[in-house]
């Protein structure tokens, strides 16, 4: 693994923490919580843990309650949990696994067993992160894909306050892209798409969702951004693309911009207005921004 994995150790007894830390500290970055509330806090703060080792019997809040809360929170629900506990009946183990734990280790703590089981779970977590990443990104440009865009737009729309919290969208379609492929070949076309994606990445804020929507169409979702800002931003991107000239090829793009209106409830409504604006930009001669 390129990056060291992070493990959150949760136990109300210091000697247990010391024992677990002793097995794991040479291989992993560790975060430590001596109670349930602290665990929930640390589980949501970066770096997000890749795995949580969770004690069951703790005074303020037991491990089962902690597990339920972590699984109910979208930020922490994908973090695998292993119970590490003195409760060793089959019923206890079954209950823990039913709550969504990926494994169940009984005390007394045996370092070799802990190390081996942790290693398995960290490998699985790494694989599932990779799959999730692949499922949400476009392979050629590494931008988000249409699937992620729509999911994320619908989440944002569900939380948008109808007054003040402005949401805008920009749709971009490359002009005469078919000519690029025809004249310079498909590979050169791919390189152009990558170069344009890079312009979008380097000129966006971390809260913007930049996605490849289809072949040579991109969508940028801009939160807290009124229409006039979105237009300015589009104009800046339009100029940067025109100036880019990847492999000496002059490329331009047409931009359609729209801001969410009071009555619009779905992303499709908003996006179809941006799409109509692109159409108009094409009609008016391309290489321009239209709202
Ligand atoms: P317009 O200005 O009207 O948008 O013209 P256009 O040629 O850009 O539009 P059209 O929709 O006719 O053609 C889009 C082209 O984009 C056709 C397709 O071969 C190309 N394309 C789509 N996806 C990819 C890709 O992943 N790589 C490459 N190289 N080309 C692609
Ligand atoms: Mg305990
Ligand atoms: Mg197109
Ligand atoms: Mg096009």
Query: What was the ipTM of the complex prediction?
Result: 0.96
- CA–centroid distance, 151 to ligand 3, in Å, is 22
> Who's near 89: CB < 8 A, 6+ residues apart?
none
C-alpha–C-alpha distance, residues 132 and 154, integer Å:
19
Give, for ligand 1, the residue of 215, 238, 249, 287 to mutate: max count of ligand atoms closer than 8 Å to Cβ. 215
Q: What is the pLDDT of residue 262?
A: 84
DSSP string, 85-130: ES--SHHHHHHHHHTT-SEEEESSP-HHHHHHHHHHHHHHHHHHHH
Write down the pTM of the prediction.
0.80
Catalytic option among 161, 183, 216, 242:
216
C-alpha–C-alpha distance, residues 21 and 29, integer Å:
10
For residue range 232-264, list pLDDT tens digits in order: 999 999 999 999 999 899 999 999 999 999 888
Atom 20, ligand 1: which residue's CA is nearest? 178
Give the Cα-Cα-Cα angle 102, 67, 54 (nearest 5 degrees): 70
Nearest ligand 1 atom, CA 286: 2
Is residue 252 lining ligand 1, measured as CB closer than 6 Å?
Answer: no
The helix/strand/coil state of 139 is: coil
Q: What is the pLDDT of residue 2?
A: 53
Dihedrals φ, ψ of 190, to 5°?
-60, -40
Radius of gyration of the chain (CA): 25
Is residue 77 lining ligand 1, measured as CB closer than 6 Å?
Answer: no
Nearest ligand 1 atom, CA 186: 29
Give, for ligand 1, the residue of 173, 177, 241 to mutate: max count of ligand atoms closer than 8 Å to Cβ. 177
How many CB atoms sit inside 10 A of residue 276's CB? 14
Closest CA to 63 of 121, 26, 105, 27: 105
Atom 18, ligand 1: which residue's CA is nearest? 178
Is residue 138 lining ligand 1, measured as CB closer than 6 Å?
Answer: no
Ligand nearest to the CA of 285: 1
Is residue 151 lining ligand 1, measured as CB closer than 6 Å?
Answer: no
Q: What is the pLDDT of residue 1?
A: 46
Atom 31, ligand 1: which residue's CA is nearest? 215
C-alpha–C-alpha distance, residues 53 and 82, integer Å:
5
Q: What is the pLDDT of residue 247?
A: 87
C-alpha–C-alpha distance, residues 252 and 213, integer Å:
17
Catalytic residue list contains 216: yes
Quick one: three-class SS letters along 197-254? HHHHHHCCCCCCEEEEEECCEEEEEEECCCHHHHHHHHHHHHHHHHHHCHHHCCCCEE
Ligand nearest to the CA of 193: 1
Give pLDDT < 50 ranges for the chain: 1
């Amino acid at each position: 693994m390129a990056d060291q994995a992070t493990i959150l150790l949760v136990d109300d007894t210091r000697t247990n923490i010391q024992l677990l830390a002793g097995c794991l500290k040479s291989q992993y970055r560790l975060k430590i919580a001596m109670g349930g509330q602290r665990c929930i806090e640390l589980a949501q703060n970066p770096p997000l843990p890749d795995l949580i080792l969770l004690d069951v019997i703790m005074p303020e809040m037991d491990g089962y309650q902690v597990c339920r809360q972590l699984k109910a929170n979208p930020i922490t629900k994908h973090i695998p949990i292993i119970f590490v506990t003195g409760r060793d009946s089959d019923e206890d183990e079954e209950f823990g696994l039913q709550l969504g734990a990926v494994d169940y280790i009984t005390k007394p703590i045996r370092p070799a067993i802990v190390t081996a089981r942790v290693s398995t779970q960290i490998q699985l977590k790494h694989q599932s992160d990779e799959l999730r990443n692949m499922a949400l990104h476009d392979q050629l440009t590494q931008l988000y894909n249409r699937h992620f865009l729509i999911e994320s737009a619908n989440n944002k729309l569900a939380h948008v306050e109808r007054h003040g919290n402005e949401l805008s969208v920009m749709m971009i379609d490359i002009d005469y892209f078919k000519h690029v492929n025809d004249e310079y070949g498909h590979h050169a076309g791919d390189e152009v798409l990558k170069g344009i994606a890079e312009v979008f990445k380097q000129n966006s804020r971390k809260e913007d969702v930049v996605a490849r929507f289809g072949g040579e169409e991109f969508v940028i979702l801009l939160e807290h951004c009124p229409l006039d800002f979105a237009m300015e931003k589009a104009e800046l991107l339009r100029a940067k693309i025109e100036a880019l000239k990847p492999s000496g090829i002059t490329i331009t793009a047409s931009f359609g911009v729209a801001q969410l209106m009071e009555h619009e409830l779905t992303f499709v409504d908003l996006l179809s207005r941006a799409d109509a604006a692109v159409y108009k930009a094409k009609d008016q001669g391309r290489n321009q921004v239209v709202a």
